Amino acid sequence: MTKSSKSPALLLTTSTKLVASSTTLKQPPTDKILSNPYIQCVDKNISASVEQRSGNYWVFYNYIRAQKTFLCNETITYTTHGEYTFLHNLEPLLKRWQGPISIAIYAPGEDYLPAVKAIMYYRDCLNTTVVKDYATFHFYFPYGHMPNTTILNQQSLSKFKPDCTIRPIVIEDKLNSYRNNSGLDYPVNVGRNIARTSANSHFVFPSDIELYPNPGLIPSFLDMIR
């Protein structure tokens, strides 16, 4: 079992300091969906933060954030979870969804850096900006299997340049991941709850990342509510 040289408490203290300077005021969305006066809700804080959850998990909330933001009564958030080998589903999913996604990424030990690289690839190297526009990523891992490399702060993430010539590994390639090598279970319910509670919109659509919604679902649903 590989463990980080830093204690969970030190990781929390260090990371909290790193993300504190990145907190910004919420900006209006660039592609504004008509606000729904029939939905009464309060917007959440979408700044990056670090917390302990379910007793033995560290969670980096809003670790890599979508460029576009929406008020809580403007849209629906697709909430999902997975490992970085499933992220190739994001492009086709988002082309249909055309709205915010909150996704919890399980990245213990050596899976942390490949997860960051995969996310940045899908944000910056595709012929579309849907991942960068709509997807917000939260990282989580057990405190006994923390990342075994330097955890990137918000400033480092903003400067991270992926190698667009190397496609990320996908699940079909049968990756021999750190989680598999360490015999770790996949904490599905932890991921589901992280993604759901982090969504800013009043309505959420929990689903598996491999299930693609019908196009036009968001405006159709909001029209029904009106």
Q: pLDDT (tens digit, 9 = 90+) per residue, 42-55?
A: 999 999 999 999 88
Say how many Å lie between the first and final Cα of the chain, rounded.
Answer: 53
Handedness of CA 108, 113, 118, 123 (dihedral sign): positive
Range in 4-13, 59-68, 87-96, 193-202 the model is least confident about: 4-13
Helix (H) or strand (E) holding 57: strand 57-64
Interatomic CA distance for residues 163 and 175, integer angstroms: 19
The most confident of the ranges 54-58, 155-159, 178-182 is 155-159
- Among residues of the chain, what percentage have pLDDT more than 70? 84
The pLDDT score that the predictor gives to residue 173 is: 66
**Rounded mean pLDDT of 166-190?**
87
pTM of the model: 0.84
**Rounded mean pLDDT of 106-122?**
96
The pLDDT score that the predictor gives to residue 35 is: 67
**pLDDT digit string (tens) for 12-50?**
333 333 333 333 334 444 344 556 777 889 999 999 999
Per-residue pLDDT band for 4 (boundaries 50, 70, 90) equals very low
**Rounded mean pLDDT of 153-181?**
88
| DSSP 8-state class, residue 111 | G
Interatomic CA distance for residues 87 and 139, integer angstroms: 13
> Rounded to the nearest 5 degrees, what angle is found at the Cα of 91, between the Cα atoms of 86 and 97?
110
Measured from the Cβ of residue 112, the count of other Cβ atoms closer than 10 Å reads: 25
Interatomic CA distance for residues 111 and 82, integer angstroms: 12
Range in 36-50, 88-102, 103-117 the model is least confident about: 36-50
| Residue 89 pLDDT > 60 | yes
| Residue 193 pLDDT > 50 | yes
Radius of gyration of the chain (CA): 17
Closest CA to 95 of 130, 139, 67, 70: 130
CA 135 to chain centre: 6
Measured from the Cβ of residue 31, the count of other Cβ atoms closer than 10 Å reads: 10
Closest CA to 116 of 105, 127, 126: 105
The pLDDT score that the predictor gives to residue 36 is: 73
**Rounded mean pLDDT of 86-107?**
97
Range in 13-17, 138-142, 170-174 the model is least confident about: 13-17
Interatomic CA distance for residues 145 and 1, integer angstroms: 8
Question: Cα–Cα distances in Å, from 190 out to 28, 109, 127, 155, 193?
Answer: 30, 17, 32, 27, 5
Helix (H) or strand (E) holding 11: helix 8-20
